[in-house]
Amino acid sequence: MTTVSLLGVASYLPEHVVENDFFGAAASQRKGMFGAPTTRRHVARDEQAAAMIERAAQKLVTELDLEPARDIDGIFTNVALPDQAFTGCGAEVAHRLGARPRWVLDLHNTGCVSFIYMLALARMFLQTSELRGVLLCNVQNAAGRVFSQPELAQLPQAPVPGDGCGVGYVAASAVSPLLSLVQRCNPPFAGDMQAIADDGRRYWEPGLRPIALQFTERRVAAIIERGNAVVPELVSEACRAAGVRPTELDLLVTNQPNRIFLRNWCEALELPREKHHDTFDRYGNLFGAALPINIVDALEQQKLVAGNLLGLGGFSHAGDYAAAAVLRWGAGVPRP
């Protein structure tokens, strides 16, 4: 089979830094699942997902010396809160970059772990079709779009999310090879995250109350238990498939829902905390964008260098999808 590499990553963080006082006096005191980061970014009202991807992707284009019309013929996106109802933003991204994609996939599922899921799809396309290179695009914009609403900013979970965009470029190459990848769908957890308003209206129905995201309350214990267990399980499985032990990973990067999951995953994999790189305290829960953004951050801090064994892992929503991968990092450091 053709070896597939993650040849580069880049990120874009919205300028607007939001401090905890925005969410009320109690925000910085909370612990547990709603323990707040020190800061996070919020997208501006008119900041489009496609524009965020463009800004991050331009860095990659420069870094990797890509000719978009030639080198980017696949574009996969996952956007937390799409710019438009009905349509995804992949075609708009292609337009902005001057790419001429043969395949565009705007994923509606796998949220927080969609970077790994898209990596799996990219590998499949690159191994079975004529595609030359795939741009993976993750946008988290639910913090500014949802949790900055005045009625919602006081909710305990409001300070946790933060916005950002991360992109990756995948091609047939042995430079930075994907050694293993496992992914799983857990159907019983599919219905446990909802976007609802407190007046009970559907999100498409007119009304005055804002829409928030929440988990099925009676299932919270099961969701926590699943979240605790599933990421270490899949990272271990990906390591087995790559023929290494989890403790041999030079760096682990995951999604970052909260400090509790980060602590528990790291403990369960018996990794020292410094080998599990996160940006939760600065950027909050970046949903699907956490993985590429954290890889960029690790590179900038030289915690990830060429030759390192890099583990990726995460789960989405209430645990409906989970995935993990192991790569031998060989790509360079993105220019800021």
Partner 1 sequence: MKALDPAGLTGIDGLIRCEDYDRNALGEHLTELTHTVYPHAEVYGKFCTIHAHIECPPELVFSYMRDPYSLLEWTYSVRKLRPAGADGLLVGVDSGNTPIYVRTRSNEQALTVDYHCAWDQGSELWMVYLNRIVPAEIVLKRPGSVVLWTNCHHPYYDRNPFPELNQDAERAWVGDWWPLFFAGHTLELRNLKAILEHRFRRGQELGPRVVESA
- Residue 27 CB, nearest approach to partner 1 (Å): 12
Sign of CA dihedral 163, 272, 314, 96: positive
- Tokens 């799809």 locate to 121
Binding region for partner 1 (CB under 8 A) out of 56-64, 184-192, 220-228, 248-256: 220-228
The DSSP bridge partners found for residue 211 are: 197
Q: Site map for partner 1, 149-178, x if CB under 8 A?
A: -------x----------------------
The DSSP bridge partners found for residue 106 are: 77
Out of 84, 263, 281, 301, which residue is the one contacting partner 1 (CB under 8 A)?
Answer: 263
Count of residues touching partner 1 (by CB under 8 A): 18
Position 27 contacts partner 1 (CB under 8 A):
no
Terminal Cα-to-Cα distance of the chain (whole angstroms) = 34
Out of 141, 176, 228, 255, which residue is the one contacting partner 1 (CB under 8 A)?
Answer: 228
Q: Where are the alpha helices (DSSP H) in 182-316?
A: 220-242, 259-268, 280-283, 290-300
Distance of alpha carbon 58 from alpha carbon 50, whole angstroms = 12
Contact 88, 95 (CB under 8 A): no
Out of 232, 257, 311, 314, which residue is the one contacting partner 1 (CB under 8 A)?
Answer: 232
Out of 16, 22, 28, 35, which residue is the one contacting partner 1 (CB under 8 A)?
Answer: 35
Out of 64, 120, 268, 309, which residue is the one contacting partner 1 (CB under 8 A)?
Answer: 268
Kindly tell me the burial class for residue 272, based on how many C-beta atoms sit within 10 Å of its own C-beta (0-12, 13-18, 19 or more): exposed
- Residue 162 CB, nearest approach to partner 1 (Å): 20
- Tokens 């070896």 locate to 3
What are the residues binding partner 1 (CB under 8 A)?
Answer: 30-35, 156, 220, 224, 228-229, 232, 260, 263-265, 267-268
